[in-house]
Amino acid sequence: MRWLLLSTLLVQSATAQSEADKLEAALTKFGDRNYRVKFGNKESGNMSLRTRIEKEGDRNIVVFEDRFAANLKGQELVLTATEKASLDRLRLISTKRITKDNGKEVQWTVSVEGKKATLQSPDQKQTIEVSERTIGEQAVVRGICAAEQKEGVTFTADVMSGIEDQLQRDHTFRCLGKELLEIGGKKVGAFKWQHKGEWTVPRKVDDEDVAVTTEVDNVYWISPDGYLLRQTSNGGRTEIILDVK
């Protein structure tokens, strides 16, 4: 019985290591990418996604350094984020996010210890219980790119949202199949993913508790090599396209 238990633990450890190795390889393939941002079909700004593997103590982790800059309806918006995640399903370790909106700077941070996350924003500091599938916003697109690219593949995750200042449970990601996409004047094959979710939470509005509903309905197109080619959100009004210059 003791040998059976030992062999089972060894198989589980090897499987976990194999999955971490696969994820690390997928993230390395994702690399550093630059994108153009369009709003209402007009060129509005740019976005960069930087991905690297670092050593932290006795383990490897992944670090995302992302920047989004755009002019939206006359407002200058710059968002920078540094996020650290585990190679175990991209589980969130920490996030530091700075938003500059027309010169006004707002900082938002999250740190995870065990099953608790400490979230701090200008308005509040709170502790939230998180699951083993909790990821950060910067991990979303990387998780989609690292998933099996096959029609019908579906997975869920809980996402710590800096935009809504909350943990949003049960984001759903589904591969809708493969289609042709035009990038830089060339037709390329891409796997189309849908990302959906809806959450209702209490908010203070004019000193009254009001139930506010937020929705996510994004579409992503992923290259067979595992990196983002295009993304749309807000009903297609916002578009992010790989810069192939």
Q: Residues 175, 161: contact at Cβ < 8 Å?
A: no
Residue 151, domain member (yes or no) = yes
Q: Residues 197, 173: contact at Cβ < 8 Å?
A: no
Residues 6 or more apart in contact with residue 91 via CB below 8 angstroms: 85, 112, 132, 133, 134, 135
Q: Residues 53, 61: contact at Cβ < 8 Å?
A: yes
Residue 9, domain member (yes or no) = no
Residue 10, domain member (yes or no) = no
Residue 9 pLDDT > 90:
no
Residue 27, domain member (yes or no) = yes
Residue 49, domain member (yes or no) = yes
- Model pLDDT for residues 232-243, shown as the tens digit of each residue: 998 888 999 999
- Mean pLDDT value across residues 93-121: 92
Residue 51, domain member (yes or no) = yes
- Model pLDDT for residues 45-97, shown as the tens digit of each residue: 999 999 999 999 889 999 999 999 998 777 899 999 999 999 999 999 999 99
Give me the number of domains the chain comprises: 1
From first CA to last CA, the distance across the chain in angstroms is: 61
Residue 35, domain member (yes or no) = yes
Residue 156: per-residue pLDDT: 95
| Residue 17: pLDDT band with limits 50, 70, 90 | low
Buried b or exposed e, range 159-194, using 16+ CB within 10 angstroms: bbbbebbbbbeebebbbeebeebebeeeeeebbbbe
Token output for 5: 């238990």
The single-letter code of the amino acid at 60 is N
**Whole-angstrom Cα distance, residue 46 to residue 34?**
7
Token output for 143: 């998780």
Domain range holding 76?
22-242
Residue 140, domain member (yes or no) = yes
What angle (nearest 5°) sits at the alpha carbon of residue 102, between those of residues 101 and 108?
Answer: 25
